[in-house]
Structure 1
Amino acid sequence: MSIKTTDTSRRNFLKTSSALAAGLAASPALFAEGLSLESGKPKGISLGVFASYDHAKYLRDLGYTYIEESVGGFLLPKDGETGFNNNLHTLHELKFPIWSYVVLLPGDLKTVGPNADHEGVLARTELALKRAKAAGSDYIVFGSGGARTIPEGFDREKAWEQHIAVTKKMAPFAEKYGVTIAIEPLNRGETNLINSLAEGVRVVEAVKSPRVKLLCDIYHMLKEDESPDEIVKYGKHIVHCHIAEKEDRTPPGVKGDDFRPYLSALKKIGYNGGLSIECFKYTDFDREIKAGIAVLKKQLSEV
């Protein structure tokens, strides 16, 4: 398989990544031992929110268990190692855990198609996994719909082969750093590759790594009219979950969506992990996210 690396910025990223990795190795006080925030994790379904860590104290005070950040916002900020050191310092001070991160790859860093850049993908992934370990986190979500969208006219099966091939190369890094990559199926409005739990499992089973598992996103399942029964069918692979209302990707309680069938399926498989409210637009973050935890707790208690 021929993978092109044509973008100069990709080569620059590889050089920068090497320098940053060297910097991490030179900072044992911050990075060598990590934060070890996993101790005392609750059993059952734990509620979290995808948000900037600036919201951490408010979310903790509301009763959320954890926060979910973005790779680019927390692990690979624009100001590089200095920015990450500052983020880690804040995390040390507040001690509100980050369990996972979304948006592993930007849309222009392709896993498939004629311009697939697997070297760039792997460089970014390894650095993100290394820093996630330093932050005491469990998961990096591999959704990245733009990165995996198959270009028009490109052979679909070849794209599948490309995407699986690069995920197989990610797996040893995930195993090395003890951070699980959670494959996220997305709805067809966001990408044309991996649109169901079954297709996510195709990747998981092809990679065959204990550190490459499945994410269940109830919002995307609703958009695709995917049955809650699929959660039961593929439950053994699921390690992390997202949720939002179907119409406008709002937090639970805004439109009044009934998530009970999906929550019931999670309980049926004995799911023991995070359920993150993952939205990208809010009318009033504080009010809506406060209502969100109340709605989810109520619906969970009723299944």
Structure 2
Amino acid sequence: MKRAEFLKNTLLAAGSAVSLNAFGEQSKQKKDMTVPSFNLDYAPHQGMFSASAGKNFIDEIKYMHDLGFKSIEDNGLSERSVAEQKAIGETLARLSMRMGVFVVPKGGNGANTLAAGKQEYIDIFLKGCKESVEIAKRVNAKWATVVPGDYQRELSIGVQTGNVIEALKRGAEIFEPHGITMVLEPLSDTPDLFLRHTDQTYEICKGVGSPSCKILYDIYHMQKNEGNIINKMNECWNEIAYIQIGDNPGRKEPTTGEINYKNVFKWLHNKGYKGVLGMEHGVSKSGKAGEETLLNAYKEVDNFLV
């Protein structure tokens, strides 16, 4: 063989070996970077991983995706600019992630209570419902949180319940054509609130009688107000459309309080729940160490399902 041809063949062979080695390394890296997956669909919110991902919400969403989360939730979505809402929606679509709940603007919270039956309050609520439809379109959201507002001591409970049902019927008429569900959230924040228990919320949903009016079952709030979590969820199951998480006391990640989230999640998994589980809680530790603790807690309670 001529020297020139020998050198040419030698270089080609070496190049092939380098290419194969590089391909092998790339394949190994790609395999090592396989996104982990959870058995249930947990949804973090902005700030939970900002120590690692930074303060930009879009960057944080991407980071959450890389950690294995398939959804997010954003209570304050309605307060963001239209441009930011669209950017969030485009990011979620590109990553095949879901948007969980956001709060209907002035959705009956506080003194602006639907229990009072006042037209001015109903008009504010319905305006918020209409705005929510447009917000939901930008991020492909399917759930919007509504809190009926404060209890009215000058009115009997039956009258207040009737007032809430009538207002929510009108809200449901706005959401139904768009496949969006109002999720009513009973809370433990103050005894002044009208809506505080699961069975009370169940009764209202039955009264509204719409697929666009269901229950948001917040495990943290309901542990404080009534306990008996699994039995209460089972009792009202056909009206529950969305679930939120938080341990008690402290409202931090699972494993930090008294709630046996391993059993609760196992029950939900066996029940066939495919909806979102909003991580509406704080983190027990700060910084990156806190983020690692948070992630490990979810891995621990989720691995119990297998």
Please, what TM-score do these two structures have when normalized by structure 1?
0.73
Q: Which letter does structure 2 place at the counterpart of 1:260?
A: K
DSSP-derived class of the 1:244 partner: coil
Q: Which runs of 5+ in 2 are unaligned?
A: 1-36, 48-56
Which residue of structure 1 lines up, in the alignment, with residue 178 of structure 2? 177
1:44·1:273 contact (CA, 8 Å) conserved in 2?
Answer: no
2:112·2:150 contact (CA, 8 Å) conserved in 1?
Answer: no
DSSP-derived class of the 2:216 partner: strand
State how far apart, in whole Å, the 2-side matches of 1:241 and 1:286 are. 27
Which residue of structure 2 lines up, in the alignment, with residue 211 of structure 1? 212
Q: 1:286–1:279: structure 2 CA closer, same or farther, 3 Å change rule?
A: farther
Report the Cα offset of residue 136 of structure 1.
Answer: 0.8
State how far apart, in whole Å, the 2-side matches of 1:276 and 1:285 are. 21
1:218·1:262 contact (CA, 8 Å) conserved in 2?
Answer: no
Correspondence 1:106-255 to 2 at 5 A: 106-113=109-116, 117-142=121-146, 144=147, 147-187=148-188, 189=190, 191-227=192-228, 228-255=230-257
Structure 1 position 88 matched with structure 2 position 86: yes
Once the two structures are superposed, residues 162-199 of structure 1 have per-residue CA deviations (whole angstroms, 9 ceiling, x without a partner) of 11111111111111221111122222636532322211
Which residue of structure 2 lines up, in the alignment, with residue 7 of structure 1? none
Which residue of structure 2 lines up, in the alignment, with residue 24 of structure 1? none
Aligned length: 252
State how far apart, in whole Å, the 1-side matches of 2:273 and 2:68 are. 20
Structure 1 position 298 matched with structure 2 position 293: no
Q: 1:155–1:130: structure 2 CA closer, same or farther, 3 Å change rule?
A: same
State how far apart, in whole Å, the 2-side matches of 1:246 and 1:172 are. 36
Which residue of structure 1 lines up, in the alignment, with residue 100 of structure 2? 100
Q: 1:265–1:90: structure 2 CA closer, same or farther, 3 Å change rule?
A: closer
State how far apart, in whole Å, the 2-side matches of 1:289 and 1:191 are. 35
Q: Which runs of 5+ in 1 are unaligned?
A: 1-41, 78-82
| Of 185-194 and 242-251, the range deviating more from structure 2 | 185-194
State how far apart, in whole Å, the 2-side matches of 1:137 and 1:294 are. 28
1:140·1:180 contact (CA, 8 Å) conserved in 2?
Answer: yes
Of 277, 280, 284, the match for 2:279? 277
Q: 1:194–1:110: structure 2 CA closer, same or farther, 3 Å change rule?
A: closer
Report the Cα offset of residue 224 of structure 1.
Answer: 1.9
| Structure whose residues are more often helix by fraction | 2
- Larger gyration radius, structure 1 or structure 2: 2
| Of 45-54 and 280-289, the range deviating more from structure 2 | 280-289
Q: 1:263–1:152: structure 2 CA closer, same or farther, 3 Å change rule?
A: same
Q: 1:256–1:64: structure 2 CA closer, same or farther, 3 Å change rule?
A: farther
DSSP-derived class of the 1:112 partner: helix
- For the aligned residue pairs, the C-alpha RMSD in angstroms reads 2.8
Of 63, 66, 73, the match for 2:71? 66
State how far apart, in whole Å, the 1-side matches of 2:244 and 2:287 are. 17
State how far apart, in whole Å, the 2-side matches of 1:177 and 1:287 are. 42
Q: Which letter does structure 2 place at the counterpart of 1:215?
A: L
DSSP-derived class of the 1:140 partner: strand
Report the Cα offset of residue 280 of structure 1.
Answer: 5.5
Identity rate, percent: 18
Once the two structures are superposed, residues 207-232 of structure 1 have per-residue CA deviations (whole angstroms, 9 ceiling, x without a partner) of 11122222221111211242111112
